[in-house]
Amino acid sequence: MDYLALARKWRPQKFEDVAGQPHIVKALANALESGRVHHAYLFAGTRGVGKTTVARILAKALNCEQGVSAEPCGQCQTCIALDEGRFVDLIEVDAASRTGVDDTRELLENVQYRPTVGRYKVYLIDEVHMLSKPAFNALLKTLEEPPPHVKFLFATTDPQRLPVTVLSRCLQFNLKRLSTRLIIARMAYICDQEQIDTQPAALTQLARAADGSMRDALSLLDQAVAFGNEVLRGDDVAEMLGTMDSQRVFALLDGLVAGDARALLQEIQVLDELAPDYQSILNELSTLLQRIAVVQMAGPEVLDEDDDTDSLCRLAGELDAELVQLFYQIVVTSRRDLDLAPDPRLGFEMALLRMLAFRPVTHGAATGLPENSGSGAPRARSAAKQAAAGPEPTPPAPEPEARPTEQAGEPGPVSSPEELGDWPSFLGKLGLKGAVRQLAEHCWLISASPFELRLGLDPGCRHLLTDNLKGQLTDLIKEKMGSAIAVGIDIREQVSETVASRHAKEAEQGQRKVRETIEQDPNIRELVDLFDAEVVPESIRQPAATDDTK
């Protein structure tokens, strides 16, 4: 029994079946209905997005026995012959195998003769950019003034390589890469029609591996069905594609968050035993970092259904937004440089170690690594330098530290708003960073009691009020004010000034002062008078202030 590949079996036969290209379908349908069909069309786009499929449907619409329309019947002899690839008036050529001028001349020998059975003689040239320059020159005259019964349809993945003289004679349509969600929906429909048992995770992995190509997705689906014996499971598809379990990539991120170089290298050792593709792991790592940045900036509501929301929200709260951007940039750069490394694993290790090395020094040693990272070399070098320099003078005995309850600015449990003091000053003592700091700066104090602290939040910043960020802020407040107090945050119209709004006002006032100073400067005024110049207010920038709390 002959088996027809899914990519061929489910190739669209009508314009309405073409997925993800509504701008192309609408333009061609309107041209067919109005009778304004151009003599030459160029369909450009990456592989597997439907270039030749759209061209064949257009040829069918032009030659359908029911008349030229955007909806060919699909049942007449012409439509059936076109679907089966045996319509004599559709001359389909692969330019990659017929690049010479002699091939083009042979192709155009019969262009002046009327079609045999159809209404139009259609020349479909795939990968047209592969034609040689003499071949394009041989095509130009016919392309500029073709007989009324001839239509030219070109398909290419590289339109920049076509001569401008050819481009100017064609109507060019650029087909878009297909989104992962659209590919998943199409594969789910096909699996339902083919009665294939599937898991959503399996379809998601296949769609991402297809990289915007529907044909590649259906080819991978064929392979996965055979691999899983008519059943699509996420583990089987991951094994077939050689991709890594997302939990292992999350484990790498956990090691980066902890700053533990030893744990990170041990995790890489476990990965290496699975013979992974380190390029794909870097791709997965960059994808997760991007999703974490999305959570930090826009909240978890914008995540896709297949995202691990809990893990992403947890990491979004543990990593500073600036650190996520730094990690992402290092991963992207390391992907480009991986082929230059002596070994893929060494290049991958170096990428992760680079993330640790360039972390801002907030904890542990000055190298950016924590105290327990197992890095003995820096300490050994430090000891050697100390021995060479001689004994250091004994430092004076430190004064006894004040008890926590006696330190200035360390509030205990409050019983009234007056005891809490200035809310912005209190925030400065919490040591907030990242997204949790943004949440706190957009809040203001409503009321305080020995058992509850009530805060208000600007409605425009409701995306910051996630369970993770609220929990972090609550824990830090309890450390300063006592574990018995509860913290509540209400979203309400702003009735009090927030730290964020105060900073915005101060920045605006500072900008205005700087602008006035520049405009009143005698040297500037002399330049304006001498050269009839003009001060552009938008070009004036206030010097950035140093914020030690960040």
188-219 pLDDT, tens digit per residue, is 999 999 999 998 888 988 998 888 999 999 99
Q: Is the pLDDT of residue 366 over 50?
A: no
pLDDT of residue 392: 46
How far, in Å, CA of 209 to CA of 280, rounded? 10
How far, in Å, CA of 218 to CA of 232, rounded? 13
Q: Is the pLDDT of residue 389 over 60?
A: no
* CB-facing half-sphere around the CA of 297: CA atoms within 13 A: 10
Looking at 62-76, 366-380, 437-451, which range is the least confident one?
366-380
How far, in Å, CA of 197 to CA of 175, rounded? 31
Asked if residue 225 lies in contact with residue 187, where contact means CB atoms within 8 angstroms, the answer is no
For residue 27, how far is the Cα from the chain centroid? 29
Asked if residue 241 lies in contact with residue 216, where contact means CB atoms within 8 angstroms, the answer is no
Q: Is the pLDDT of residue 174 over 80?
A: yes
What backbone phi and psi angles, to 5 degrees, belong to 232? -105, 110
How far, in Å, CA of 211 to CA of 50, rounded? 14
Exposed/middle/buried for residue 6 (C-beta within 10 Å: 0-12, 13-18, 19+):
buried
Domain 246-360 maps to which CATH number in 1.20.272.10, 3.20.20.70, 1.10.420.10, 3.30.1330.10?
A: 1.20.272.10
Q: Which value, to the nearest 10 degrees, does the dihedral of the CA atoms of residues 121, 124, 125, 126 take?
A: -170
Q: How confident is the model at residue 382 (pLDDT cuts 50, 70, 90)?
A: very low
What does the DSSP 8-state code read for residue 76? S
Q: How confident is the model at residue 328 (pLDDT cuts 50, 70, 90)?
A: very high
How far, in Å, CA of 432 to CA of 441, rounded? 10
Q: Is the pLDDT of residue 56 over 90?
A: yes
pLDDT of residue 90: 93
Closest residue by Cα to residue 200 from 223, 183, 178: 183
In this structure, what token pair is assigned to residue 165?
Answer: 């003289």
Taking CA atoms, 286 is separated from 325, 326, 335, 342, 404, in Å, by 10, 11, 9, 22, 43
Q: How confident is the model at residue 469 (pLDDT cuts 50, 70, 90)?
A: confident
How far, in Å, CA of 499 to CA of 440, rounded? 8
What backbone phi and psi angles, to 5 degrees, belong to 270? -65, -40
Asked if residue 5 lies in contact with residue 219, where contact means CB atoms within 8 angstroms, the answer is yes
How far, in Å, CA of 298 to CA of 292, rounded? 10
How far, in Å, CA of 334 to CA of 278, rounded? 11
How far, in Å, CA of 394 to CA of 52, rounded? 82
pLDDT of residue 384: 36
Q: Is the pLDDT of residue 319 over 90?
A: no
Bridge partners (DSSP) listed for residue 272: none
How far, in Å, CA of 444 to CA of 205, rounded? 45
Q: What secondary structure, in 3-state letters, does 148-211 show?
A: CCEEEEEEECCHHHCCHHHHCCCEEEECCCCCHHHHHHHHHHHHHHCCCEECHHHHHHHHHHHC
pLDDT of residue 476: 82
pLDDT of residue 421: 56
What does the DSSP 8-state code read for residue 402? P
Taking CA atoms, 387 is separated from 12, 380, 392, 396, 482, in Å, by 78, 11, 9, 21, 47
pLDDT of residue 547: 46
- The better pLDDT of the pair 196, 545 is held by 196
β-pairing, 452-457 vs 443-448, is antiparallel
- The better pLDDT of the pair 534, 23 is held by 23
How far, in Å, CA of 110 to CA of 29, rounded? 29
What does the DSSP 8-state code read for residue 116? S
Q: Is the pLDDT of residue 417 over 60?
A: no
Bridge partners (DSSP) listed for residue 173: 43
What backbone phi and psi angles, to 5 degrees, belong to 366? -75, -10
Q: Is the pLDDT of residue 363 over 70?
A: no
pLDDT of residue 223: 93
For residue 36, how far is the Cα from the chain centroid? 39
What does the DSSP 8-state code read for residue 462? G
Bridge partners (DSSP) listed for residue 483: none
Which residue type, as a one-letter code, is found at position 269? Q
How far, in Å, CA of 190 to CA of 19, rounded? 13
Q: Is the pLDDT of residue 78 over 70?
A: yes
Q: How confident is the model at residue 302 (pLDDT cuts 50, 70, 90)?
A: confident
Domain 180-241 maps to which CATH number in 3.40.50.1820, 1.20.210.10, 1.20.120.330, 1.10.8.60?
A: 1.10.8.60
**Residue 427 Ramachandran class (φ > 0 left, ψ -120 to 50 alpha, else beta):** alpha
Which of 127-141, 251-265, 414-428, 514-528 holds the top average pLDDT? 127-141
Q: How many CB atoms neighbour CB 288 within 10 A?
A: 24
Q: How confident is the model at residue 54 (pLDDT cuts 50, 70, 90)?
A: very high
Q: Is the pLDDT of residue 76 over 80?
A: yes
Averaged pLDDT, 40-65: 93
- The better pLDDT of the pair 98, 535 is held by 98
* Domain 6-174 top-level CATH class: alpha beta
Q: Indicate the SS3 state at residue 113.
A: coil
Please name the CATH architecture into which domain 413-496 falls. Answer: 2-Layer Sandwich (3.30)
Dihedral over Cα of 225, 229, 234, 238: its sign: negative
- What does the pLDDT look like over 335-345, one tens digit per residue? 888 888 888 88
Looking at 101-115, 178-192, 466-480, 520-534, which range is the least confident one?
520-534
Looking at 62-76, 93-107, 169-183, 512-526, which range is the least confident one?
512-526
Asked if residue 486 lies in contact with residue 494, where contact means CB atoms within 8 angstroms, the answer is no
Domain boundaries, the chain: 6-174, 180-241, 246-360, 413-496, 501-539
Bridge partners (DSSP) listed for residue 174: 44
Q: Is the pLDDT of residue 379 over 60?
A: no
